[in-house]
Amino acid sequence: MQNFLDPAILFFVFGLLAGALRSNLEIPPQIARFLSLYLLMALGLKGGFALAKSGLTAEVLVSLGCAIALAVAVPAIGYLLLKRRLSRYDAAAIAATYGSVSAVTFITASQYLESSGLPFGGHMAASMALMESPAIVMAVVLATLARRRDPAVRLATSDASPHGLGKVLHESFTDGAQLLLLGAMVVGIVTGETGHKAMQPFSGDLFQGMLAFFLLDMGLLAARNFGSLRTASPWLLAYAVCGPLVHASIALALAAACGLSVGNGALLMVLAASASYIAVPAVLRVAIPEASPSLYFGMSLGLTFPFNILLGIPLYVGAAQRVL
């Protein structure tokens, strides 16, 4: 419950209220763009530093392999289900949001495990970092494919040569926001502890304030586009709660098959069940402007996040204890 008093979360709530009151408060687009790029760079560095510190033992590799498998499977399953009821852009955005992870949910789960006396590996933080990217890459790929099928896009590019899968992948992996995230992670891995100390004022000390500013902007944006969420079908809102339960169940089965410990398995379930409200929204605002932020951001932070904090984490840990 104390996480709801986090300043960044409260700034998001403030943004929602200001937007609902139709205030003229707004973040200039260029500043919003900078905040998105900063958060991506800082998150990439944090993930690289964590991976450099953990090393690559057999146990670490198994855990990381499970995390990457889930990071691919969850958005793929979500997209196949969601595209039946939504546009391909919204389906890709929501699938990416639920295929990625929430750092706050992960930290809360780690504290819950510590208070319960259940050990877990420090390398799970690297798993969290690695799970940020695959869903984003898949979303950009799916959105690029959707644009290729759009008649207006085809007409605008009718004089261009046909785009094969290789061209689509190239455009997806070289997307500026996504490339910054991956590049920063590589820098973090290469520089390790030395880089961590050098970049701490940038990627550590400033992070919470920048995050609060970013969430203020996202709160304003979500409030001003909240009408589509209020009119969304009950089926879509149910996905925000039932989806995490299904994803956690898949993670539990994978953890049991790979022989993970209770603590690591529980954290894997939390990662699979969480939904991003930092990295993915930062990328989607730039990479898939056709998608509605009120859907993917409102569902993840407005419904899934409080569900996981209040009910999900104890449920996932209890299931891991019984099965693993």
Quick: pLDDT tens for 196-210. Answer: 999 999 888 888 788
Above 50 in pLDDT, residue 235? yes
- Mean pLDDT computed over every residue of the chain: 81
Above 80 in pLDDT, residue 190? yes
Rounded to an integer, the average pLDDT of 150-161 is 48
Tell me which residue has tokens 């970049």. 199
Amino acid 250: pLDDT = 96
3-state secondary structure the chain: CHHHHCHHHHHHHHHHHHHHCCCCCCCCHHHHHHHHHHHHHHHHHHHHHHHHHHCCCHHHHHHHHHHHHHHHHHHHHHHHHHCCCCCHHHHHHHHHHHHCCCHHHHHHHHHHHHHHCCCCCCCHHHHHHHCHHHHHHHHHHHHHHHHHHCHHHHHHCCCCCCCCHHHHHHHHHCCHHHHHHHHHHHHHHHHHHHHHHHHHHHHHHCHHHHHHHHHHHHHHHHHHCCHHHHCCCHHHHHHHHHHHHHHHHHHHHHHHHHCCCHHHHHHHHHHHHCCCCCHHHHHHHHHCCCCCHHHHHHHHHHHHHHHHHHHHHHHHHHHHHHHC
Q: pLDDT confidence of 226, banded at 50, 70, 90?
A: low
CA angle 187, 127, 276 (to 5 degrees): 90
Rounded to an integer, the average pLDDT of 1-9 is 60
Domain 28-323 has CATH 1.20.1530.20: yes
Segment of 73-87, 116-130, 135-149 carrying the highest mean pLDDT? 73-87
Listed residue (317, 280, 303, 301) closest to 96, CA to CA:
280
Amino acid 104: pLDDT = 75
Q: Return the structure tokens found at 197.
A: 């100390």
Please provide residue 39's backbone torsions phi and psi, each rounded to the nearest 5 degrees.
-60, -40
d(CA 220, CA 32): 12
d(CA 287, CA 37): 12
- Phi-psi category of residue 55: left, alpha or beta, with phi > 0 → left and psi -120 to 50 → alpha: left
Residues 6 or more apart in contact with residue 204 via CB below 8 angstroms: none
Residues 6 or more apart in contact with residue 303 via CB below 8 angstroms: 237, 240, 241
Q: Return the structure tokens found at 155.
A: 């007409």
Q: Which residue has the higher pLDDT, 228 or 82?
A: 82
**Amino acid at the residue 78:** G
Amino acid 74: pLDDT = 94
Above 70 in pLDDT, residue 65? yes
Above 50 in pLDDT, residue 91? yes
Question: What sign has the CA pseudo-torsion 229, 233, 239, 242?
Answer: positive
Length of the chain: 324
